[in-house]
Chains A and B, each alone.
Chain A
């Protein structure tokens, strides 16, 4: 009975039309995103708007740009933490920094930086290894509001105990609290850490290469992309890397199935840190 209850084919039509409407009206292209998470996020927004269907969401998004802002946030926010996966950050210090140290000037791209937790983690580690002063970090995200929060270097105070534990397990050598000042229920990280960071809006789906980097960090972003889009973004990273550049992905991400797999060799295999062969 097509008219009743849940109908996958009908929902698929609604999703396709909604994504096309967003692309044509606002230029954001989510058509290559992985379906399972995308569907959850679309429904989350629909319910948040008090709507019962995704075609209802399409109507509101087309007529109300503020609804598009809210949807964009839902579709782009990557929930992360400082020094997420401490063993990854330890591996950066032990295996990646020695390679970066050989360059007089270091360029790093954090693609999909979200609200900045990862990039401040990296800045702290670079500082402790004496590399921050000659590093320029480009932190990009599709969502301007997330970038605004990242730029402010402000995080919730109640997360600091957790972040401190992560920091120590990641090989941090100072008092973590020396990096921030508390103000109410938030903390603000030392502006000196952010001085070498350029925050900029960049859409991995539609924007091109803008520099060459020795290290590209893109963690837990590709999981939201479908296979074809993953392929395109890995191609973009290849174009954006110096000779023998380093690519760091999330712990459960893989380039194994990609046509770009042969372009890389593992640097720290279980942390998904790869190095270009040429």
Chain B
């Protein structure tokens, strides 16, 4: 299997804690960029989520800026009220209409990741109380990418993992604590200078 070149994570209700656990298990020399769509309030204060996550994991966490390059070991979070998409090696943002009432939409992120990275993307669906991400994860799996779903039993809200699993029954089901270590195994560690 080719090494994973991009990790895309989608989370909603209860996502902050879940993302923290996943990122916390990634080593500083993690060999792929990580992109995250976490549902949140349009007005959520600028940069709060990013500061929290950055303080609690070994990787660098930042809020996406348009055309930013995707670097291994750097975590890019969708800004509130923007869709986050990826192109080959860079971030792209959009203010297209919300999808399923969500902007950022996990489906939009996953769909763009599947298009740009094909089999070299790992998509992860975490806790949430809706079905966003189910369609996008299926697209990632269709293109030969790795589909991972948080075990609904370990999710704060199980609706989103359940929906992802019914759309992609072949996805790997992992307890929250197992997801980070599994991602670390899928990517080749990279050498990276930390400022």
Contacts and interface: CB of A to CB of B under 8 A. Distances in A.
B86 interface: yes
Contacts of A257: 67
The number of chain A residues touching the other chain, given as a range, is: 20 to 34
Contacts of A148: none
B135 interface: no
Given A34-B87, A36-B85, A41-B96, A251 B112 contact: no
A36 B114 CA distance: 11
B96 A36 contact: no
Q: Which of A37, A80, A227 has the most CB of B within 10 A?
A: A37
A254 B93 CA distance: 12
Interface residues of B, number: 26
B66 interface: yes
Contacts of B108: 40
B96 A252 contact: no
A80 B63 CA distance: 21
A268 interface: no
A35 B79 contact: no
B1 interface: no
Interface stretch (A49-57, A176-184, A197-205, A217-225): A217-225
A37 B92 contact: yes
Q: Which of B67, B82, B86 has the most CB of A within 10 A?
A: B67
Q: Which of B64, B66, B96, B143 has the most CB of A within 10 A?
A: B66
A251 B112 CA distance: 22
Contact of A223 (B94, B112, B118, B143): B94
Contacts of B86: 36
Interface string B104-121: 000010011001101000
Contacts of A220: 95
Q: Which of B68, B92, B142 has the most CB of A within 10 A?
A: B92
Contacts of B93: 223, 252
Contacts of A73: none
Contacts of B118: 8
Contacts of B97: 79
Interface string B32-72: 00000000000000100000000000000001111110000
Contacts of A227: 67
B67 A230 contact: yes
A249 B146 CA distance: 37
A34 B92 contact: yes
Given A8-B118, A35-B87, A40 B64 contact: no
Nearest to B87: A36
Contacts of A230: 67
A224 B143 CA distance: 25
A244 to B, nearest CB: 26
A79 B81 CA distance: 11
A168 to B, nearest CB: 13
Given A252-B79, A254-B67, A223 B95 contact: yes
Given A34-B92, A39-B115, A40-B96, A6 B143 contact: yes
A195 to B, nearest CB: 29
9 contacts: A8-B115, A34-B92, A36-B92, A36-B116, A37-B85, A40-B94, A222-B66, A252-B65, A254-B68
- 10 pairs of A and B residues whose beta carbons are closest in the complex: A36-B85, A36-B112, A37-B94, A36-B92, A223-B66, A223-B93, A220-B95, A79-B97, A36-B87, A34-B92
Interface of B: 46, 63-68, 79, 82, 85-87, 92-97, 108, 111-112, 115-116, 118, 142-143
Given A79-B97, A252-B64, 19 more contacts: A35-B87, A36-B92, A37-B92, A39-B112, A39-B115, A40-B85, A40-B111, A78-B95, A80-B95, A223-B94, A224-B94, A230-B67, A250-B95, A251-B79, A252-B66, A252-B82, A253-B66, A254-B67, A257-B67
